[in-house]
Amino acid sequence: MNSPLSGLPKLAERVSSLKPSATVEMSERIRQGRAAGRKIIGLSSGDPNLATDPRIVEAAERAIRGGETHYSTPAGLPALREAIAAYEKRRSGATYDAADILVTPGGKFALLTALMGVVGPGDEVLVPEPGWVSYGPCVRLCGGKPVALAMLDRIDVQAVEAAITKQTRAIILNSPVNPTGRILPEDEIAAVVKIAEKHNLWIIFDQVYADLTYDRPVAFAQASEAGRARTLVVDSTSKTFGMTGWRLGYLAVPSGFAKQIVKFLQHSIYCVPPFIQVAGIEALRLYDEIVPRYRSMFRKRLARSVEALSKIDGIECHMSDATFYLFPKVAGDDAAIAKRWLDTLDVATLPGSSFGGPGAGHLRLSLTVSDEELETALTRIAKAGIGVPTV
Ligand code: PMP
Ligand code: GLU
């Protein structure tokens, strides 16, 4: 059969060579499976099962009815940028002027915007592994070359130094880490800031899980003066407020840089819909009321799942510092176990190897289903085990 593309010019290499997103593709498979009648329990996508607070929804509704339905200022509504600067100050201690904040459609686009701003053709960017699946592809979309840096348990300063070449332009750090749930300690962040100064690199610091922490505080790259000067901060309302579908995030940049980078927003999205931004202002206003509740809910779910999984032969599971992810070690082929659980238990997880080679031998479980569904999934997993003989 002829491909629908035969006889047409070939697609741009930037798209045809791009690896599909393992996280998004799994969500699509689940959607299709459910449409066909399967009752799959989805422990694969980082989409918290939180209904957006009704007050946030009402704020957006009022804004739509009130006429916030036009093009708006590309950098974002001044009131939202002010609120984000205050939120940043409170969490990381870093001082940002509203002018240093750019509002984006989600953290993913904040990442792409940051990379568009600092990566040129052939530039290298160090990306963490295991790490979120979109880092490498976003670097490629900007014409750059991702260089994987293994950091499962720690950042090896010598390995970072060894990976740097004349072409290295930036390093991406993510803390708390997707997929491991680890918080990068302050000394590791400080060491990276030092290396970035020495080699004159940008740091892209992805902190989208910084509000879902348990006992340890997050160390922020922008907290020190040296870090603040060369860090582009990626953040989002998705995970903190259960607002993944609203597509609302931001980028905080070193002073003076926003005026340059906003041109990318002018020529691409123009702006985030203003009524969505109004919802973001309301979400930040409600932070103290709603976020601690979400935090304690995820903490309980994590602890319960660690307890249940730890009893299973061939699984080694520790409590995460943050996020709603668990990243247990499994004594077997992670991709085969994830496939078996999906095919035979209707429980969707992701193999650790989807997050890069150093993630192999692990599974990522996203505890973003109801407590009831989670119990069902844990019971099925406990019964089936990892399905390979262990010694
Ligand atoms: N960074 C990390 C580490 C993530 O896991 C995600 C999840 N999608 C994002 C950024 C972007 O999220 P969003 O675009 O929904 O804000
Ligand atoms: N970040 C989430 C995840 O890792 C959502 C999907 C995505 O954007 O990759 O599952």
CATH of the domain at 325: 3.90.1150.10
Q: Which of 268, 381, 244, 256 is nearest to 324 (CA)?
A: 244
Considering the domain boundaries, does residue 3 fall inside one? no
Considering the domain boundaries, does residue 59 fall inside one? no
Edge to edge, the sheet with strand 231-236 lists: 101-104, 249-252, 231-236, 202-206, 168-174, 124-129, 145-150
**Do 235 and 273 reside in the same domain of the chain?**
yes
Considering the domain boundaries, does residue 348 fall inside one? yes
pLDDT score of 390 = 42
Residue 41 phi/psi, 5-degree rounding, is -95, 120
Alpha-carbon torsion (200, 261, 22, 14), positive or negative = negative
**Do 191 and 136 reside in the same domain of the chain?**
yes
Among residues 286, 320, 350, which one ends one of the domains? 286
**Do 124 and 212 reside in the same domain of the chain?**
yes
Considering the domain boundaries, does residue 123 fall inside one? yes
**Do 151 and 124 reside in the same domain of the chain?**
yes
| Amino acid identity for residue 259 in this structure | K
Residue 151 phi/psi, 5-degree rounding, is -150, 60
Among residues 286, 308, 330, which one ends one of the domains? 286
**Do 75 and 163 reside in the same domain of the chain?**
yes
Atom 5 in ligand 2: which residue has the minimum CA distance?
Answer: 46
Instruction: Write the CATH number for 160.
Output: 3.40.640.10
**Do 239 and 292 reside in the same domain of the chain?**
no
**Do 294 and 282 reside in the same domain of the chain?**
no
**Pocket residues: Cβ below 6 A from ligand 1:** 46, 106-108, 132, 174, 178, 206, 208, 236, 238, 244, 249
Among residues 232, 266, 286, which one ends one of the domains? 286
Index of the ligand 1 atom closest to the CA of residue 244:
15
**CA-based angle 339:345:347, to the nearest 5?**
70
Number of domains the chain is built from: 2
**CA-based angle 330:334:336, to the nearest 5?**
125
Instruction: Tell me which residue has tokens 């697609």.
Output: 11
d(CA 204, CA 248): 18
Considering the domain boundaries, does residue 391 fall inside one? no
Index of the ligand 2 atom closest to the CA of residue 132:
4
**Do 82 and 29 reside in the same domain of the chain?**
no
Per-residue pLDDT 10s for the chain (391 aa) are: 567 778 899 999 999 999 999 999 999 999 999 999 999 999 999 999 999 999 999 999 999 999 999 999 999 999 999 999 999 999 999 999 999 999 999 999 999 999 999 999 999 999 999 999 999 999 999 999 999 999 999 999 999 999 999 999 999 999 999 999 999 999 999 999 999 999 999 999 999 999 999 999 999 999 999 999 999 999 999 999 999 999 999 999 999 999 999 999 999 999 999 999 999 999 999 999 999 999 999 999 999 999 999 999 999 999 999 999 999 999 999 999 999 999 999 999 999 999 999 999 999 999 999 999 999 999 999 999 998 544 3
d(CA 252, CA 270): 18
Residue ranges making up the domain that contains 94: 70-286
**Do 87 and 145 reside in the same domain of the chain?**
yes
The preferred substitution site among 112, 151, 172, 238 for testing ligand 1, maximizing ligand atoms within 8 Å of CB, is 238
DSSP secondary structure letter of residue 360: T
CA of 208 to the centre of ligand 1 (A): 6
Considering the domain boundaries, does residue 65 fall inside one? no
d(CA 287, CA 240): 9
pLDDT score of 6 = 81
**Do 268 and 312 reside in the same domain of the chain?**
no
**Do 255 and 296 reside in the same domain of the chain?**
no
CA of 207 to the centre of ligand 1 (A): 9
The preferred substitution site among 173, 235, 239, 364 for testing ligand 1, maximizing ligand atoms within 8 Å of CB, is 239
Considering the domain boundaries, does residue 22 fall inside one? yes
pLDDT score of 33 = 93
Q: Is the peptide bond before 358 cis (omega within 30 degrees of 0)?
A: no
pTM equals 0.96
**Do 18 and 93 reside in the same domain of the chain?**
no
Q: Which ligand is nearest to the CA of 205?
A: 1
Q: Which of 195, 126, 185 is nearest to 153 (CA)?
A: 185
Q: Which of 84, 77, 55 is nearest to 237 (CA)?
A: 84
